[in-house]
Amino acid sequence: MKLPQPHTLLWLDDNDALQGINAPWVAQQWRPALPVVVRRDVHPQGLVPVGVRGLRRSERAAGWVNPARILRSVTPEMLVDMQTLQRSAFVSSPPLQAAIQLIQRAWPWRWGIAGSVGYALATEIPVIHADSDLDLLIRAPQRPEASELARWQAMVTQLPCRADTQIETPLGGFALTEWLREGRALLKTARGPRLVADPWVQEAE
């Protein structure tokens, strides 16, 4: 069974589906109607690494889920849908207006909406505000053309809110701005971050 990718939102079948979390606020606040998000980690028994968000920004907890306990999943790419954006209760907010501008352009890759904006879109829970950042994700199995990445970044800098883009390669994820600025990147992998010259090439340990 292929495990869900990082940033995917998961809905679980019951309160006891979460494993390895002892934070008291999780027991008080979390319920199966609220999704958890897939994070990067590796479990020897094939459990899915997930994160739980609370009511406060400081309330974040990391745990594990048996794949058999997953009822539904929503990827960041599934939220890049004009009807979903326009029907959202938050459509007038700057982050959603920014996403609408991006979706009106043609791009040579699959991209998605992650972070708090993605959570709000998937749940309709008001976890965003006018000053919220827009977290974007580009799936890049192969290295994209530099000119296309520059075109994307040029538009992102003109959006009506702050937006950050993470590039997802088969080896991990990295910040686009860092890559464009320095020509190398801190690649976030399931086994920890690594500074790499080429995020698409497996380097020797």
- Cα–Cα distance, 130 to 38 (Å, whole number): 26
Question: Which helix (H) or strand (E) element contains residue 146?
Answer: helix 146-156
Q: Label residue 45 exposed, middle or buried (CB < 10 Å: 0-12, 13-18, 19+).
A: exposed
Q: Measured between alpha carbons, how far is 147 from 118 in angstroms, rounded to an integer?
A: 27
Backbone angles phi, psi at 66, to 5 degrees: -70, 130
- Longest Cα–Cα distance of the chain, Å, equals 48
DSSP helix, strand, coil percent of the chain (3-state; round to 5): 30, 30, 45
Closest CA relative to residue 199, chosen from 155, 178, 156, 40: 178
CA 187 to the chain's CA centroid = 15
Catalytic residue numbers read 133, 135
How far apart CA 61 and CA 59 sit, in angstroms, is 7
